[in-house]
C-alpha cells in the first residue's frame, strides 16, 4: 500500500472518531509525507494546525496508523505548504519543504527539530539556572556538567532545552556526532537489534557518539535489559569525555524500578529542575509564539491567557494555537472579546465587589449542594470538585491569602488550598465542561 492510500484509510477512520467540524477544519488538511523506519512524518499546512493536531490528536493518529501498518510508529509533525492551485504536480509529495532561514526544520540524522532552538527558548525565573548550565555545556561539552540531568513536570520545556543544546552544539561544530532520542526509541531499537541479530551495530551507533541527549529517561524504569545496555553505553561515553544530557519527570533518586548504579551515575553531574512558568514568563512565551506565527494577538488577550493557563508551557502554547486557529477559521481578529468567547465568557465589566460568602453560596447553588457539605469533610467527588472550584475562585477572583481561603472553606490548611487551586488550574484550559461551569458561576457573581 502506498502512502497516499494508507493516509486515505487513516482519514476515513478519523471521520468516525471525531466531530465533522474538527475533521474538516484540522485533520482533513493533513497528509502523510513519508513513512520510513517506523517514523511517520505528517505534514500540516500551517503552524496553528500542526500544534493543535500534535497536541490533541497524537495518540488517536498513532493508534490508527499502528493498526493499519501493524507496527509501533513514532509521529513527527512538520509544516509544509500545499502547492498553489494549478501548480500541483501529479507526482511526488503534496507539500514542499518549509525552511527556517535556509535550514530544514527536522534533521533525521540527529533527531533534532528546528522548532526547538535557543532562538525560541524563553528564559525566566523557572528555568534560568538550567539555561545558564546549558550555555556552559555548549562552551565545554564533556567537561562542564557531565552528565547534565534536567527534571520537571509535563510541558515545562525539558525537550526544548535538550534539543536547543543539540542545535547549538551542531552549529558550533558541524562534524559533531550527536543524537537526540526519547528513551523509548533506545528501548525499541535495542529490541529490534536483538530480534534481527544486529546488536553490534546498535552498540557501535550509540557508543561512538560525541553527544547523547535522552529525553524521558524514566521510561527505562523496570526494563532490565534496557537498563543494562544503557549503563554500558553511559559508561563508555562518560569515560571517553563525551557529553550526556538526560531529562526526566522527577529527580534521579525518585525514579522507581531503576538500578542503583544508574541512579548513582545520573546524579554524578549536575541535576537541575525546571518549574512551571510564572506570570511574566507566560506573557513572554505568548508574545514570542505570536511573533513566530506572525499573529497579532491583543495585549489584553495575552494577559487573559497568561492569567488563566498557568500549569505548563505545553498547555499554554496549545491553547494559543487553538485560539489562533479558531480566529483564522472564523476570519476574526484574536482580541480579548474573541478570547473571552473562546473560553465561554460574555465579557462583562467586573467592577462589582464580591464578598467571599457570596462566592461560596454561588458555588453551592450552581452544583445544588448544601453549603455545609461544600465546606465539610466529606471526600465524595460531588463535593470535592465544587469545593476546589470555590478555593480557585476565592484565590483567583478575590485574591485572598491562602490562610484566609483555608478559613473560609472549613478551616483547611494552606497546602490543601494550593493543591485544590492547582487542580482546577490544570483542568481549566483542557476541560471545556469544567471551564463552562466556572464561567457560569462567575457570571452570577458579577451580574
Cβ-based burial of 298 (10 A; exposed 0-12, middle 13-18, buried ≥19): middle
Residues whose CB falls within 8 Å of the CB of residue 406, separated by 6 or more in sequence, listed in order: 412, 413, 414, 416, 417
30-89 tens-digit pLDDT = 899 888 878 888 888 876 677 778 777 887 888 899 888 888 888 888 877 544 433 333
- Phi first, then psi: what are they for 36, rounded to 5°? -135, 130
Q: Kindly report which listed range (159-168, 178-187, 347-356, 373-382) carries the lowest average pLDDT score.
A: 347-356
Q: Kindly report which listed range (144-153, 168-177, 384-393, 432-441) carries the lowest average pLDDT score.
A: 432-441
**What pLDDT score was predicted for residue 323?**
84
Distance separating alpha carbons of residues 129 and 270, to the nearest angstrom: 11
**What pLDDT score was predicted for residue 244?**
97
C-alpha cell at 133: 548550565
pTM assigned to the model: 0.60
**What pLDDT score was predicted for residue 344?**
63
Chain-wide mean pLDDT for the chain? 84
**Band (408; pLDDT cuts 50, 70, 90):** very high
Distance separating alpha carbons of residues 114 and 99, to the nearest angstrom: 9
Higher pLDDT, 418 or 99: 418
Cβ-based burial of 370 (10 A; exposed 0-12, middle 13-18, buried ≥19): exposed
183-237 tens-digit pLDDT = 988 998 999 899 999 999 999 999 999 999 999 999 999 999 999 999 999 999 9
Distance separating alpha carbons of residues 88 and 200, to the nearest angstrom: 45
**What pLDDT score was predicted for residue 54?**
78
Distance separating alpha carbons of residues 386 and 364, to the nearest angstrom: 8
**What pLDDT score was predicted for residue 343?**
73
289-347 tens-digit pLDDT = 888 777 888 888 898 888 877 767 877 887 888 888 778 777 888 888 888 877 765 44
Are the beta carbons of 143 and 133 closer than 8 angstroms? Answer: no
C-alpha cell at 276: 512551571
**What pLDDT score was predicted for residue 349?**
43
C-alpha triplet 69, 75, 77: angle, nearest 5°: 135
Distance separating alpha carbons of residues 271 and 275, to the nearest angstrom: 13
**What pLDDT score was predicted for residue 81?**
57
Residue 350 has pLDDT above 60, yes or no: no
Are the beta carbons of 41 and 76 closer than 8 angstroms? Answer: yes
Higher pLDDT, 100 or 332: 332
**Band (252; pLDDT cuts 50, 70, 90):** very high
**What pLDDT score was predicted for residue 406?**
92
**Band (91; pLDDT cuts 50, 70, 90):** very low
The DSSP code sequence of 209-256 is: -SEEEEE-GGGGTT-HHHHHHHHHHHHHHHHTT-EEEEEESS-GGG-T
134-169 tens-digit pLDDT = 999 999 999 879 999 999 987 889 999 999 999 999
Give percent of the chain with pLDDT exceeding 70: 90
Residue 181 has pLDDT above 60, yes or no: yes
Residue 90 has pLDDT above 80, yes or no: no
Over range 78-102, report the average pLDDT. Answer: 43
**What pLDDT score was predicted for residue 429?**
60
Cross-strand partners of 211:
178, 243
Residue ranges and CATH numbers for the domains of the chain are 3-97 (3.30.300.180), 118-274 (3.40.50.300), 279-342 (1.10.8.60), 356-446 (1.10.1750.10)
C-alpha cell at 197: 541479530
**Band (21; pLDDT cuts 50, 70, 90):** low
Amino acid at each position: 500500500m502506498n502512502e497516499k492510500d494508507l493516509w486515505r484509510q487513516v482519514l476515513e477512520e478519523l471521520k468516525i472518531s471525531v466531530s465533522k467540524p474538527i475533521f474538516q477544519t484540522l485533520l482533513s488538511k493533513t497528509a502523510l509525507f513519508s513513512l520510513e523506519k517506523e517514523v511517520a512524518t505528517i505534514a500540516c499546512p500551517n503552524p496553528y494546525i500542526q500544534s493543535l493536531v500534535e497536541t490533541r490528536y497524537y495518540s488517536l493518529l498513532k493508534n490508527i496508523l499502528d493498526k493499519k501498518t501493524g507496527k509501533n510508529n513514532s509521529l513527527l509533525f512538520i509544516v509544509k505548504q500545499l502547492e498553489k492551485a494549478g501548480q500541483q504536480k501529479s507526482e511526488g509529495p503534496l507539500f514542499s519543504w518549509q525552511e527556517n532561514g535556509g535550514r530544514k526544520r527536522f534533521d533525521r540524522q540527529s533527531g533534532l527539530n528546528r522548532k526547538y532552538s535557543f532562538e525560541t527558548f524563553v528564559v525566566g525565573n523557572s528555568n534560568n539556572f538550567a539555561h545558564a548550565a546549558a550555555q556552559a555545556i555548549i562552551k565545554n561539552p564533556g567537561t562542564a556538567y557531565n552528565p547534565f540531568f534536567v527534571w520537571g513536570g509535563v510541558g515545562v520545556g525539558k525537550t526544548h532545552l535538550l534539543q536547543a543544546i543539540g542545535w547549538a552544539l551542531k552549529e558550533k561544530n558541524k562534524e559533531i556526532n550527536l543524537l537526540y532520542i526519547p528513551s523509548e526509541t533506545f528501548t525499541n531499537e535495542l529490541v529490534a537489534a536483538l530480534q534481527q541479530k544486529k546488536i553490534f551495530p546498535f552498540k557501535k551507533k550509540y557508543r561512538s557518539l560525541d553527544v547523547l541527549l535522552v529525553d524521558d529517561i524514566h521510561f527505562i524504569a523496570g526494563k532490565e535489559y534496557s537498563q543494562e545496555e544503557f549503563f554500558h553505553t553511559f559508561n563508555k561515553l562518560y569515560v571517553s569525555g563525551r557529553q550526556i544530557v538526560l531529562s526526566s519527570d522527577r529527580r534521579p533518586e525518585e525514579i522507581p524500578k531503576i538500578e542503583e548504579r544508574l541512579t548513582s551515575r545520573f546524579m554524578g553531574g549536575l541535576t537541575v529542575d525546571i518549574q512551571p512558568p510564572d506570570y511574566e514568563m507566560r506573557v513572554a512565551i505568548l508574545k514570542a509564539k505570536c511573533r513566530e506565527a506572525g499573529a497579532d494577538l491583543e495585549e489584553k488577550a495575552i494577559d487573559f491567557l497568561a492569567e488563566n493557563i498557568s500549569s505548563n508551557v505545553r498547555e499554554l502554547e496549545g491553547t494559543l494555537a487553538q485560539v489562533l486557529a479558531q480566529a483564522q477559521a472564523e476570519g476574526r481578529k484574536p482580541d480579548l472579546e474573541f478570547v473571552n468567547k473562546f473560553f465561554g465568557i460574555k465579557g462583562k465589566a467586573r467592577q462589582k465587589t464580591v464578598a467571599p460568602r457570596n462566592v461560596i453560596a454561588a458555588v453551592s447553588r450552581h452544583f445544588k449542594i448544601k453549603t455545609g457539605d461544600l465546606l465539610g469533610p466529606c471526600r465524595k467527588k460531588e463535593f470535592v470538585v465544587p469545593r476546589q472550584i470555590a478555593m480557585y475562585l476565592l484565590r483567583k477572583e478575590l485574591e485572598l491569602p491562602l490562610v484566609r481561603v483555608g478559613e473560609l472553606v472549613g478551616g483547611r490548611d494552606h497546602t490543601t488550598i494550593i493543591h485544590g487551586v492547582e487542580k482546577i488550574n490544570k483542568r481549566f484550559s483542557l476541560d471545556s465542561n469544567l471551564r463552562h461551569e466556572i464561567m457560569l458561576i462567575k457570571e452570577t457573581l458579577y451580574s
